[in-house]
Amino acid sequence: MAYTKPSPTSSPRISEFQMKEQMCSIGRRIWIKGFCAGNEGNHSYRIGENRFLCTPTGISKGDLKPDQICTVDGEGKQLAGKMKRTSEFLMHAAIYKARPDVNAVIHSHPPHATAFAIAGVELPTCIHPEAEVFLGPVKTAKYVTPGDKRLGESILPYVMDSNTILMGNHGVVCFHKDMEYAYYQLEIVDAYARILLLTKQLGSVNTLNGEEMVELVKLKERFGFGDPRMADAKKGQVACSTSDYMSRVSGDIGSKGRMSSNGGTCPVPQPSAIERAISSLAPAQYSDADVEQLVQTITDQIMATAG
């Protein structure tokens, strides 16, 4: 894995025009990756004490031009630009206000991560090292109508602990001191969500164990990344959040013994309601193998009848 220090591309030393060009280039990458359909999404850059660049409303992020980028203040008042600013800038403003270290905010609707935000399934931790290092624990904010002023309020409970937040039934917002890194987070959160969906299809999940997690969280300090679990990692323990996702995987595979949990941090899959019902009806002298055979036979019969 190639972990690198943040690049200097969005240092305040680059000109405002270069920042606008970088915003257009990020927009193109977002559109090519399929993270924003139609005119969805918006991103912004902090360029001064109370000055920000942001994308205009109603335009594809795949074809942005530097002269279409708007300049606004922290209240969202437009200071320059021929097009109207995005209606969601106030959410960006809430992040900039809460996090003086943040210089770039990107909001979009990457399909795999957004699927988790729609299903109401928290992204699990303790599974994938890239997700741990670049994202850490990712929370889901409650749904608010897109463009509404309350969008900022909905994400505020999570902005101090993470640079990536899922927005309930809506999408993702990523932020960082560096525009390029904010974009990396966007790609990584969607790639991670996609990997989780593919893993679910395969039917088993190996989790990282406690020692591996402590190592990863400590590694973040060396890269200059914060993590709310750092203090715990230094004490030698990191809490994992896997159950929400694991229950979906185990729901698919039942209790056939294919679930794997190296670190013992994920729950063992529970039998489905029908399997529990069949087990409770089985004669007392039946062994576990007999019960499993009985469950399989009855399930097969049910499936054959249903078919």
Report the nearest approach of Zn ion to the CB of residue 276 (Å).
42
C-beta of 120 vs 267, nearer to Zn ion:
120
Residue 219, CA distances (Å) to 47, 133, 191, 232 in order: 31, 8, 21, 14
- What is the rounded distance in angstroms from the CA atom of residue 167 to the CA atom of residue 192? 16
C-beta of 136 vs 171, nearer to Zn ion:
171
Report the nearest approach of Zn ion to the CB of residue 228 (Å).
26
Q: At what angle do helices 111-119 and 179-202 cross, to 10 degrees?
A: 70
C-beta of 124 vs 171, nearer to Zn ion:
171
Cβ burial, residue 7 (10 Å; 0-12/13-18/19+): exposed
C-beta of 155 vs 208, nearer to Zn ion:
155
The rounded Cα 196 to chain-centroid distance in angstroms is 11
Report the nearest approach of Zn ion to the CB of residue 205 (Å).
30
Report the nearest approach of Zn ion to the CB of residue 57 (Å).
11
Residues 165 to 204 in contact with Zn ion, rule: CB under 5 A? 171
- What is the rounded distance in angstroms from the CA atom of residue 17 to the CA atom of residue 14? 8
Q: Exposure pattern of 225-246 as b/e (b: 16+ CB <10 Å)?
A: bebebeeebeeeebebbbeebb
Report the nearest approach of Zn ion to the CB of residue 236 (Å).
40
CB 58 within 8 A of CB 73: no
First to last CA, the chain: 47
Residues 131 to 170 in contact with Zn ion, rule: CB under 5 A? 146
Please tell me the count of residues contacting Zn ion according to CB under 5 A.
2
C-beta of 112 vs 200, nearer to Zn ion:
112
Report the nearest approach of Zn ion to the CB of residue 35 (Å).
11
3-state SS, residue 129: helix
Residues 207 to 266 in contact with Zn ion, rule: CB under 5 A? none
Q: Dig out the tokens for 206 from the structure.
A: 């190996």
Q: Dig out the tokens for 299 from the structure.
A: 């399930």
Per-residue binder mask for Zn ion (CB under 5 A), 95-134, x = binder: ----------------------------------------
C-beta of 41 vs 124, nearer to Zn ion:
41
Report the nearest approach of Zn ion to the CB of residue 191 (Å).
20
Residues 27 to 86 in contact with Zn ion, rule: CB under 5 A? none
C-beta of 87 vs 243, nearer to Zn ion:
87
Q: Exposure pattern of 50-62 as b/e (b: 16+ CB <10 Å)?
A: eebbbbbbebbbe
Binding site for Zn ion (CB under 5 A): 146, 171
